[in-house]
Chains A and B, each alone.
Chain A
Amino acid sequence: MATTALSRAPGSVAPALPLRRRGIAALGALVLAGAACLALGEVGGAGVLSLGTTLFAYVALAQAWNILGGFSGQMSLGVGAFVGTSAYAMALTMTRLGWSWLPGMVAGMVVAGALSALLALPLLRLKGDYFAVGTLAATLALDAWFDNWSFVNKSMGVSVPIQAVPGQTEMYVIGLVVALFAVGSAIVMRWSTFGVRLLAIREDDLAARLLGVNVSGYRLVVMVVSGMLIGLAGGVFALSLVSFVPDGMFAMSWTIEALVMVVIGGMGTVIGPIVGAVAVYYGITTELANFPTLSLFFEGGLLLVIVRFVPGGLWPFVVRSARRSLEWRGPAIRSARATPPPS
């Protein structure tokens, strides 16, 4: 079972390597990448620092969505629920209890994780489209609740104490750590027996159950991990936004951004969400900021092109193309290799 699941894993570079060693290799690469980003932050100016901070938060957000949607096959339309609760928990502990940003961020993560666990109870009974719609309903209800709840200052919103917000360099490092944490979690989930069982559940949950896998237990764990990671990203967003209102923090747009990034980069892969976050946030959102309508056209159009022609996403496509050009031995081999499905 392990080998079949692995060979189906998109973006797998060398299926011959044992599971754990590949995971360790990936973590090693992650550490190197993290060091490189740190160095980039050192040499880059304020522009790199602020761009990087937001980008890292989006990488974490996309990766968290990917862990739930890509690895476990549960499409969530409720990213805003966790971004919102985490940001609020952080702002409230900081303003009302006088906590600093670190415990505040941890509080946000814990509250977002707790919300996931709470929502998992009813939501995990729903399948496919209904799960997606359920997460959407929960988010909308939470948003409307916060809009009317005087404890959180209703629709007027709350803010993080501005003097408690770390400086730009610190924010960059915080963002980086959060992103590394999210990608690291994805790596651990991917290349472990846990991940293999998760794939089995995604592909055929009935079969996995018959083989003795605790399907709902696995799904619960994934949902909580994803919620906590979104909570961390939400903490970074809260720190950079400073003031926010329910309609912004529980917005549909968080889901949309995470989903667009993952689908464009490559759902169910570890690298894909990173590629997607860079392509969308850097390539479209910031580059086309002067042309908002055009950037919408780009985003929508790119989504359509990707799902229509490159359904696996950009990263698996790049890997496939690279491998094909490396292994090109003549027309016979090429046509034989052109057909296998990406994943």
Chain B
Amino acid sequence: MNATTLVNGVLEGGLYALVALGLSLVFGVLRLINLAHGVLVIGAAYAALELFELFRLGPFAALPIVIVVAAMFGFLLQRLMLTNLLLKGPEAGIVGTFGLAVLGEAAFAAAFTSNGVSLQSSLATSSFKIGGVTLEMVLVTACAIAIACAGGLQFGLKRTRAGSVLRAAAKDPSTAELMGINVRLVFALTVALAAALAAVGGVLYGVSTGFEPTSDTSLLLIAVAVVVVGGVGNVTGTLVAGLAMGLVQAISVSVFGGGYADFTVYVLFFVVLIARPKGLFGQGAL
């Protein structure tokens, strides 16, 4: 086990955190496990691929467009679909978002075939060295963006008016409604924000590795693990849990072999859930 392995493990964790942030937000605010979150992530990667094929836009030039499209999609999704489901109870939410995930996978397979693809960028293949440690450029970028997003989100939730409105709506929707907060609008904006975060994660994921229509499942599972370990709705917790997950995975792979990458993560997930259902770092801001 050398320093490069550990450092890149942590950086990969940054990518996990980035993918998990949106899921955590929706779980925390809407009390909804969005099983379609992985589809939002992969969808963004496919959108970037399409923009490349249509207009020769590189992944990072496409990113702003993808973010806007994802946010709009998230907003409409909440408005037209999720609001109605949430009123019917938690099962409806799980089943409905699962239905969306199935539809998403079908749509990707129909539009892009089921072959593995990836986003090509010079960032994916470059690296730099600090004191003998080689850092993957794309992972450094992902990690930096994850920290920036988590920081911005934390600041926004705690220090801005919009943030306190959001927290009020999350804590007690009916009281918030009575106090003149448009809860439905707040919820829709939350899903839009979560989709935008998912889009950032998706494009970076697509650049750093390959993906296929069914890649959403493993992304969703790791994101759920990160969210639960970090504490639902706890933005800093999610970030720290993501980084920790990457580190733990790198260590277990070096010590026990590649087969144990999943094992350690999921055992950790189970143990934390049993011992501390609120996550290692508590419920957090929401």
Contacts and interface: CB of A to CB of B under 8 A. Distances in A.
B31 interface: yes
Interface stretch (A108-116, A181-189, A233-241, A295-303): A295-303
A5 interface: no
Contacts of B98: 256, 259-260, 303
Contact of A299 (B94, B102, B260, B274): B102
Interface in B246-286: 259-260, 262-263, 266-267, 269-270, 273-274, 277
Contacts of A299: 99, 102
Nearest to B104: A300
Given A133-B228, A148-B259, A301 B99 contact: yes
Interface of B: 27, 31, 33, 81, 84-85, 88, 90-92, 94-96, 98-107, 109-110, 217, 221, 224-225, 228, 259-260, 262-263, 266-267, 269-270, 273-274, 277
Interface of A: 69, 75, 122-123, 125-126, 128-130, 132-134, 136-138, 140-141, 143-145, 147-148, 154-155, 252, 256, 259-260, 263, 267, 292-294, 296-297, 299-304, 306-308, 311
B263 A144 contact: yes
A75 B35 CA distance: 14
B91 A140 contact: no
Contacts of A307: 85, 88, 92, 95-96, 99
Nearest to A136: B224
Contact of A130 (B94, B100, B107, B273): B273
Contacts of B107: 297
B277 A130 contact: yes
B103 A301 contact: yes
5 contacts: A133-B273, A140-B269, A296-B106, A302-B99, A307-B95
A293 B106 contact: yes
B125 to A, nearest CB: 31
A300 B102 CA distance: 5
Given A129-B90, A307-B95, A137 B103 contact: no
B19 to A, nearest CB: 17
Contacts of B100: 300, 304
B199 to A, nearest CB: 21
Contact of A297 (B103, B274, B277): B103
B99 A303 contact: yes
Contacts of A122: 274
A140 B88 contact: no
Contacts of A145: 263, 267
Contacts of A308: 81, 84-85, 96
A75 B225 contact: no
A154 B101 CA distance: 30
A134 B96 contact: no
Given A129-B33, A134-B273, A297 B106 contact: yes
B277 A140 contact: no
Contacts of A132: 33, 94
Given A126-B277, A134-B273, A137-B270, A252 B99 contact: no
A137 B229 CA distance: 11
A259 B91 CA distance: 10
Contacts of A306: 95
Contacts of B263: 141, 144-145, 147-148
Nearest to A69: B91
Listed from nearest, the 7 A-B pairs whose CB atoms lie closest are: A303-B99, A300-B102, A300-B103, A296-B106, A144-B263, A140-B266, A137-B270
Residue from the set B91, B100, B107, B110 with the largest chain A CB neighbour count within 10 Å: B91
Contact of A303 (B90, B102, B109, B225): B102
A154 B109 CA distance: 31
A69 B89 CA distance: 13
B99 A140 contact: no
Given A144-B263, A148-B260, A296-B105, A304 B224 contact: no
B273 A126 contact: yes
A303 B101 CA distance: 11
Contacts of A301: 99, 103
Given A137-B225, A141-B269, 6 more contacts: A75-B91, A144-B260, A252-B217, A260-B98, A297-B110, A307-B99
Contacts of B94: 75, 129, 132
Contacts of B269: 137, 140-141
Contacts of B95: 259, 263, 303, 306-307
Contacts of B266: 137, 140-141, 143-144
Nearest to B269: A137
Contacts of B105: 296
A144 B81 contact: no
B91 A304 contact: no
Contact of B270 (A134, A155, A259): A134
B230 to A, nearest CB: 13
Contacts of B274: 122-123, 125-126, 134
B96 A128 contact: no
Residue from the set A133, A138, A259 with the largest chain B CB neighbour count within 10 Å: A133
Contacts of A147: 259, 262-263
A80 B27 CA distance: 24
Contacts of A69: 91
Contact of A129 (B31, B85, B104): B31
Contacts of A137: 225, 228, 266, 269-270, 273
B33 A140 contact: no
A133 B103 CA distance: 22
Contact of A141 (B27, B33, B224, B267): B267
Contacts of B92: 307, 311
